Structure formats: structure tokens, C-alpha cells
Amino acid sequence: MPFFNVREAGGMADPLHDEAATVAALAQVGAAAGPYLGSLADRPVHDPAAAGKLAGLTGPLPEDGEGTAEAVRRLLDIGTATATASSGPRFFHFVTGGATPAALAADWAASLLDQNSFARVSSPFAHETETVALDWLRDLFGLPAGWGGALVAGATFANFTSLGCATQWWGERQGADTVRDGLSGLPRMPVLSGGYVHASARKALQMLGHGRAAVEVFSRDDVGRVDLDALEARLAGLAGAPAVIIANAGEVNAGDFDPVDALAGLAERYGAWLHVDGAFGLFAALSPRSAPLVRGIDRAHSIAADGHKWLNVPYESGFALIREPARLGTAFGMPGAAYLPGPQDPGGGYGLYGPESSRRARSLPIWATLAAYGRQGYRAMVERHLDLAQHLAARVDEAPELERLAEVPLCIVCFRVSAPGVPEEELDRWNRAVGEALITDGRVFCGTTVYGGRVALRPAIVNWRTTETDIDLFVDVVRELAARTRPQLP
Ligand SMILES: *Cc1c(COP(=O)(O)O)cnc(C)c1O
């Protein structure tokens, strides 16, 4: 019996088994793709004039639906007008990648095939694709064979997955089974990091029951650079009790790095677990120019990174890489349901090696983009972004009213608008005004941060579409808006 909004008589309907209607709806999306993608290079990142269209989404839940074609038409009409063009070349806020052609097409294919990547038993195809995708990622970043991992929704979940394994390891070191018994009765797990630690690592610790205050920060300045001596003194003070170190490979304000190699040395000397948050910074490994920034990652126990940032695959895509992959099944298996395989069973799979159980085949866009462009394609993209970041830094340096606040080791340029005689609080206010004006203006997109106590802009360049013209436009728009919002001196 058909059940998709068939009105009894005469109403519009989507008869079941009318595949032509499905294919027609997919064709609607395909037809919208060309104009939308074609507009990305020039459209405003954010079009305030289109915001009124969002009202078209609201209304009561329909009793009788309007049918596939009309629903999809309306959604595309509103979406292509109001979407943030963050997959375009001029979105420099957060750290936001776009989608390569192969990744975008493969992401559509993931919906078409609608696999449950829970386990081999639910989809041998998705399982095999994930195994290959993870191994290609491992290889891309120069990690030795034997490492394994899991694809997750983003780096927050990659931090969660990694620190979940670390928690299981930490319990084991003191004869406890945290997977079975939780944390009760145990001391707090010591987690040591520098000031670059990302909010999502704290969130992961909060979700794992350690509490976000579990992180002990050892920082030697107001920017957050790690204080290795103080961190080592704390490790020594633990007198052999196991601890977790978080190294930050790519910090979000200026793209700076903790000295991973030195932290790996400390982890080895004191028997600690080393976790590296390399959400975007892990991609430094792809170019000989930036690879020294991640020297030592192969000595880590776990690494978290994002696919939806510098790999340029669509949301949601992150991955955790683990030196001893068997820990994933130990930490995230769910034995005891008779109808499900266990992590060690031949029918088992990635739903038992990470936090999610039923999951979409997010391996497909990763596999496709790596198959399409290869190691050299990604190296070339990263190097182009390194060049663009240096170009932006040079443009900032030559503009009298722009002041660069940090070195540019990777893909982020941290700077502010500034002028002689303007007091610091007034500079902060001015920079916030420029940040707000940028977002309202919409031609380019960038947010503010506070770096070393000063309000600053921090554009991040990780989108494959971005060109030097986009960077030049960004600088021109910032200078124009800085002039417009410039404080009047008494
Ligand atoms: C973006 C980011 C995260 C969080 O990633 P999500 O994909 O948003 O979950 C974690 N760490 C760093 C350093 C990041 O840049």
C-alpha cells in the first residue's frame, strides 16, 4: 500500500515505486549544482538581502505533503539563495575547507547507496572503502604501517575517540577496566597540555566523564606557547602515575605548533600517552616546507584530524588515527547484544571501533578525493595555500593601517587594524567593528579572535578554490571597512 502522502482522490501523490520521480528529483539537484557551483567564485559569501527567504522554510507540519518535486524545488530555491558560501574561495572564518569535485560527487554517491557502515555484515563495500581510506590517510601523513583508525563526524569526535582510547589505556595501567566500570573510585586522569589546547579537546574530556577542567595547562606566555619545563616537572611529580599529554599541531589563532617531537620525548621518558590534535595542522606533513612542524607525530599514540577542513571533503568528516588500533575495539565495542557482532568477529567493523554505531559511508568522499588527486595533488594544494598565506602576510605588512601579530608558519594570518595614537581598548573596539562589518558586508568572510590579549582577525586559507585574487580582495575589503569604522581621535 502506498503511504507517501497519497490523497484519497485527485490529490497530488508520489506513488511508491515510481523511480522516475526519484530520478527527476535527483536531476533537480543536479540542475541546481551547475549554477550554484559556478556562482561560488563571485557570489557574496553571505547575502544579507536573501535572508528574508528563510521564512519560506517555516509553517505548520503539512498534513498532506506537497510531493517530492515541489519540496525539493522549494528547498533548493531557498538553499541556493541563503546558504553561506563557505565552500567558495572567500570564506576565511574558522578553518573551513570546501569540497573537491571528486569528494562532492562521492558524497552524493554515499547518499545514493545509503550504506550503513556499522560493520562488514551491514556493508562489506563501506567497510572495505573505510579500511582503504584510513590506510591512505595514514600513508599521506607518513605514519608507519600498523596504525589504524576510525572515521568520525569531525575532529571533536576524533579527539573523543583518541582520548577514549587513552582513558582505557590509563585505566589498564592501574589495573582498572574503565570500559566496564567507568571512572568511579579512580583518581582524576592527569591531562597535560600547553595553552594551545583546543576547546573541543576539553569538550571530549567533558563527554568522557573526566570533566573539561581535567586539562592542566602549562603555558609560558599569554599566547599559549607550551612551557616544557613546567610540564616536565609535573610529569616528574606524578612519580610514575600514568598521564596523557595533548600536543597541539596547528593552533587556531595563528596556526602555530607545539613542539611535538619534544613532547613525544617527554611522553616516552615518563611513560605517558601522547595525543596530537592535528585537526588541520596534520596536513603540514604534506609539504617538505612545513613537514618539520609535525616532526614526531609518528611517536604519538593517537592523532585527531578533520577531513572537512584541509582535505576538502564535505561535512561531516573527521578521523582518529591510533598507533595500537586494537584499543579502538576495546574502548568502543559493545558486546552483549546477541544480534550484533563483537569487535573481534569477522562480521564486525568500524561501528565497534568508534563512538558511532550506525553511520553513513563517509569513507566514500575520502577515498574518491585521494584516488582522484593523489599525494601530489594534495601536496600541490597545501603548497599553494602556504604561498597564499605568505602573500596575505606580505599584503598585511605593506598596509600602513594593518599590523601582523604573529609569524605565519602555515595557513593562518593573525593581524589587526591599527593606527598610531589609538589606545589599546579603542583598537580592540575598532577590530571588533571591522569583524562585524566584514560579516554584514558579505563579500569575504572572516572572524575575530583574541590573540595575546588583543582583538585580531585570523583568516585561515584551506579551500582548494582560493586564488591570489581572492586574497587581494580580502585585503582590499578589510582596508575599506577599517577606514569606514576608524575611531575619531579627540
Ligand atoms: C576545528 C578544530 C577542532 C574541532 O573540529 P570539528 O571538526 O569542528 O569537530 C579541533 N581541534 C582543532 C585544532 C581544530 O582546528
* The three three-digit cell numbers of residue 24, written as one number: 527527476
Which stretch of DSSP H or E encloses residue 158? helix 155-173
Residue ending a domain, choose from 332, 349, 373: 373
* Whether residue 294 sits in one domain with residue 367: yes
Query: Is any ligand 1 atom within 6 A of the Cβ of residue 277?
Result: yes
Residue nearest atom 7 of ligand 1, based on CA coordinates: 154
Query: Is any ligand 1 atom within 6 A of the Cβ of residue 278?
Result: no
Structural domain includes residue 440: no
For residue 196, what is the domain's CATH number? Answer: 3.40.640.10
Structural domain includes residue 96: no
* Whether residue 281 sits in one domain with residue 327: yes
Query: Is any ligand 1 atom within 6 A of the Cβ of residue 156?
Result: yes
Of ligand 1's listed atoms, the one at least distance from the Cα of 248 is 13
Q: Is 132 exposed, middle or buried (0-12, 13-18, 19+ CB in 10 A)?
A: middle
Q: What span, in angstroms and rounded, lies between the C-alpha atoms of 409 and 402?
A: 19
Residue ending a domain, choose from 353, 373, 393: 373
Query: Is any ligand 1 atom within 6 A of the Cβ of residue 193?
Result: no
Q: What span, in angstroms and rounded, lies between the C-alpha atoms of 254 and 194?
A: 15
* Whether residue 348 sits in one domain with residue 294: yes
Query: Is any ligand 1 atom within 6 A of the Cβ of residue 252?
Result: yes
Residue ending a domain, choose from 322, 349, 373: 373
Structural domain includes residue 384: no
Q: What span, in angstroms and rounded, lies between the C-alpha atoms of 143 and 13?
A: 54
* Whether residue 252 sits in one domain with residue 181: yes
* Whether residue 71 sits in one domain with residue 142: no
Our count of domains for the chain comes to 2
Given the C-alpha cell 616544557, which residue does it identify?
Answer: 228
* CA-wise closest residue to 281 among 260, 299, 267: 260
* Whether residue 141 sits in one domain with residue 26: no
Distances in Å between the alpha carbon of 339 and those of 80, 335, 347, 355, 397?
43, 10, 11, 19, 63
Residue nearest atom 1 of ligand 1, based on CA coordinates: 279
* Whether residue 81 sits in one domain with residue 181: no
* Concatenated DSSP letters of 31-43: HHHHHHHHHTTTS
Structural domain includes residue 16: yes
Q: Is 17 exposed, middle or buried (0-12, 13-18, 19+ CB in 10 A)?
A: exposed
Structural domain includes residue 140: yes
Query: Is any ligand 1 atom within 6 A of the Cβ of residue 154?
Result: yes
Per-residue pLDDT of the chain (490 residues), as tens digits, is 344 544 443 445 566 667 888 999 999 999 999 999 999 999 999 888 899 999 999 999 999 899 999 999 999 999 999 999 999 999 999 999 999 999 999 999 999 999 999 999 999 999 999 999 999 999 999 999 999 999 999 999 999 999 999 999 999 999 999 999 999 999 999 999 999 999 999 999 999 999 999 999 999 999 999 999 999 999 999 999 999 999 999 999 999 999 999 999 999 999 999 999 999 999 999 999 999 999 999 999 999 999 999 999 999 999 999 999 999 999 999 877 888 887 778 878 999 999 999 999 999 999 999 999 999 999 999 999 999 999 999 999 999 999 999 999 999 999 999 999 999 999 999 999 999 999 999 999 999 999 999 999 999 999 999 999 999 999 999 999 999 999 987 6
* Whether residue 121 sits in one domain with residue 52: no
Going from the Cα of 461 to the center of ligand 1, the distance in angstroms, rounded, reads 15
Structural domain includes residue 455: no
Query: Is any ligand 1 atom within 6 A of the Cβ of residue 307?
Result: no
* Whether residue 267 sits in one domain with residue 169: yes
* Whether residue 164 sits in one domain with residue 307: yes
Of ligand 1's listed atoms, the one at least distance from the Cα of 158 is 9
Sheet with 302-306, edge to edge strand ranges: 148-152, 318-322, 302-306, 273-277, 244-248, 191-193, 215-217
Of ligand 1's listed atoms, the one at least distance from the Cα of 278 is 13
Q: Which of 260, 282, 306 to mutate to test the pocket of ligand 1 (most atoms within 8 A of CB)?
A: 306
Q: Which of 92, 151, 198 to mutate to test the pocket of ligand 1 (most atoms within 8 A of CB)?
A: 198
Residue type, 22: T
Which stretch of DSSP H or E encloses residue 102? helix 101-113
Residue 405: how many other CB atoms lie within 10 Å: 20
* Whether residue 280 sits in one domain with residue 327: yes
Residue nearest atom 12 of ligand 1, based on CA coordinates: 279
Structural domain includes residue 428: no
Going from the Cα of 94 to the center of ligand 1, the distance in angstroms, rounded, reads 9
Going from the Cα of 313 to the center of ligand 1, the distance in angstroms, rounded, reads 15
| Domain extent for 25 | 5-85
* Whether residue 140 sits in one domain with residue 44: no
Structural domain includes residue 476: no
H helices within 326-362, ranges in order?
Answer: 326-332
